[in-house]
Amino acid sequence: MTREAVPAISWPNPGFFRLATILGLLGASALAALGRFQAALALTLGAAMAIVSALWLSDLVGRFKAPAPGAPARFDWKFGLKAVLRYAFVGLVLWGTVRALPADVRWVVVGLSTVVAAVVIDGLRELLTGRRSGTGASQ
């Protein structure tokens, strides 16, 4: 019995991060056009940290592999240290941003949500593409 090769679907695709970047830039540009430069900076910093954090998370998840059957479980301390340091860095940058721009915390949160908006848009795009091709779950 032969197994068919299943193509690996890479998530997130590079278009996802591009979409999150475009959303952040559009929001910051709109705020800057309205003369709200500190709010634009807060949104940009929030979006940058969200995108970097999402990239790191995708790298982190990509490193998880199923061990061979019967192989002993082991802990890779370098992997754990990198994960802790990455999130400590993200936390420190966000803390510094909130301390530096206390009046614009809501725009930091809006910037952080650009990744969530990109996930929603990417999911809707996949759903619509699946429906058009007749392979969607609703078929």
- Ramachandran region of residue 68, left (φ > 0), alpha (ψ -120 to 50) or beta? beta
Show the tokens assigned to 13: 């695709």
72, part of any domain: no
Which are the contacts of 41, defined by CB distance < 8 A and separation ≥ 6?
28, 101, 104
4, part of any domain: no
Domain containing residue 19: 14-62+79-133
Helix, strand, coil % over all residues of the chain, rounded to 5: 75, 0, 25
What's the pLDDT score for residue 127? 87
7, part of any domain: no
pLDDT by position in tens, the chain (length 139): 444 444 445 556 678 889 999 999 999 999 999 999 999 999 999 999 999 888 888 877 777 666 677 767 666 777 788 888 888 988 898 899 889 988 889 999 999 999 999 989 988 888 888 777 766 555 5
2, part of any domain: no
116, part of any domain: yes
Asked whether 13 and 121 are in contact (CB, 8 A), the reply is: no
